[in-house]
A and B are shown apart, each in its own frame.
Chain A
């Protein structure tokens, strides 16, 4: 299990989701990915994408202008 970060700041929907999706595809089940965004829509979209694809959002928080999500990679990704 390892921890990774993704900077998706200043990207508009659906780019934060796409970047998350592409990054997750390179990670192993159980890995954590901390995603930093500025588009508040990511607070809905990344969890929705995770639910659909078998990953878990462990944490969401706002940090100044940033929206931060911590995703735990599930075992199901194709």
Chain B
């Protein structure tokens, strides 16, 4: 009896990677999924912290896909190593701070390491030639295979027929004829294939998979680097960029202002790391101060905090200012900043 071949599929939670895994499963290959956590992943409930989004169904799409396909899923935290990809992408960025080509290479490389450590035979991705302007062009597909080290152990079932046969095809582990020849940006072939495979429900095909493709998010990340005078970040930094209103009233500090209760609760978890402010006597946001501040800066921060609370029209509002950890605490009595004094340019 021939050996049971095993493939590891990169699963993002979107339609393409779901189809790619399913197509190979249909050929009797044992498929397990890997989902990489970069820190920038957009998930259905990344915004679960926001009260207003609570009613939306919350699910992790990669886990959901794995359940639909009846395969195991391994979620792997690559956020620490991924930093080098974001900070120094050899192949540059896309429209925003998305280092897509380097990201693909890195993920396939990580999948290769996993494949070797776990005795699997090849790797599957949902890539389609010509679908993405940078990472999925005809000329960059071989770059991913080569620079990741996966070479011809990387199979793209959705467009395999447009590419030279890979090892699994040449060895007869999978039948090339039953793979596909999709190309270009149209999603129609994927949707038709989904229907043919009986997959009725899937995450929005065009849904972004990562915050780095988001213009506003990228602007906040760039602002963070500028303000620090160096390009660096840790996981908390990039999580906080997803939450709250970010205002930079002075170059050397910014404020992260909870927009509602869910965000305030989330920001509470960061009180040990930042000076934080809250209004007394009126409901208001929790405000974190990121940067080094003096007394005048804190006064301004307190006026801004007051402007975003229920006491915004009061003549004076008390604002409690606490050091990280809440050891030292001061109360400032300030006039809320009038809206027209909140400069447009402060909004990051």
Contacts of B266 in A (CB 8 A): 10, 38
From B54, B60, B72, A17 is in contact (CB under 8 Å) with B60
- Is B66's CB within 8 Å of the partner chain A? yes
Please determine whether B43 and A41 come into contact, CB atoms closer than 8 angstroms.
yes
Given contacts A14-B41, A52-B66, contact A45 B49 (CB under 8 A): no
Q: Contact between A41 and B44 (Cβ–Cβ < 8 Å)?
A: yes
Within 8 A of B (CB), among A1-54: 9-10, 12-15, 17-18, 21, 38-41, 43-45, 48-49, 51-53
Given A14-B43, A14-B75, A48-B64, decide whether A41 and B58 contact each other with a Cβ distance below 8 A: yes
> What mask results when residues 37 to 65 of chain B are scored 1 for a CB within 8 Å of chain A, else 0?
10001011110110000100011101110
Q: Choose among A18, A39, A53 the residue that contacts B45 (Cβ–Cβ < 8 A).
A: A39
The distance from the CB of B143 to the nearest CB of chain A, in whole angstroms, is: 28
Residue ID in chain B nearest A45 by CB atoms:
B60
Q: Cβ of A12: which chain B residues have Cβ within 8 Å of it?
A: 43, 46, 48-49, 239, 242
Q: How far is the CB of B191 from chain A (nearest CB, A)?
A: 25
Q: Give chain B residues whose Cβ lies under 8 Å from the Cβ of A18.
A: 37, 75-77
Asked if A65 is at the interface of the complex by the 8 Å CB criterion, the answer is: yes
Measured as residues with beta carbon below 8 angstroms from the partner, the interface class of chain B is: 20 to 34
Does B73 interact with chain A (Cβ within 8 Å)? yes
Separation of A15 and B54 alpha carbons in the complex (Å): 19
B58/A65 in contact, CB under 8 A: no
Q: How far is the CB of B4 from chain A (nearest CB, A)?
A: 15
**B58 contacts A52, C-beta separation under 8 Å:** no
Asked whether any CB of chain A lies closer than 8 Å to the CB of B35, the reply is: yes
User: Is B265 touching A40 in the complex (CB atoms < 8 A)?
Assistant: no
Interface of B is mostly: mixed
Alpha-carbon gap, A8 to B251, bound state (A): 34
Question: Most B CB atoms within 10 A — which of A14, A21, A39, A45?
Answer: A14
Closest A residue, CB atoms, query B71: A52
The verdict on A13 contacting B269 (CB below 8 Å), with A40-B45, A41-B45 known, is no
CB pair B59–A17 under 8 Å, yes or no, is no
Query: Whose C-beta in chain A lies nearest to the C-beta of B44?
Result: A41
Name the residue on A nearest B57 (C-beta). Answer: A44
Q: A40-B58, A65-B265 are in contact. Are A13 and B67 (CB under 8 A)?
A: no
B271 to chain A, nearest CB (A): 11
Docked complex Cα distance between A2 and B342 (Å): 56
Residue among B60, B67, B73 with most chain A CB within 10 A: B60
Give Cα A54 to B46, complex, Å.
26
Whether A39 pairs with B49 at a CB distance below 8 angstroms is yes
- Could you say which of A9, A10, A13, A65 contacts B48, with CB atoms under 8 Å apart? A13
Give B283-330 interface residues, CB cut-off 8 Å to A. none
> Do A21 and B49 touch across chains, with their CB atoms under 8 A apart?
no
B37 and A52 form a contact (CB under 8 A): no
Q: Would A39 and B75 count as touching, CB distance under 8 A?
A: no
Q: Which residue of A lies closest to B43 (CB)?
A: A13
Can you add 5 more A-B contacts, CB < 8 Å, to A18-B75, A44-B59, A52-B73? A13-B58, A18-B76, A40-B45, A41-B44, A48-B64
Write the residues of chain A forming the contact surface with B, with a CB cutoff of 8 angstroms. Answer: 9-10, 12-15, 17-18, 21, 38-41, 43-45, 48-49, 51-53, 65, 78
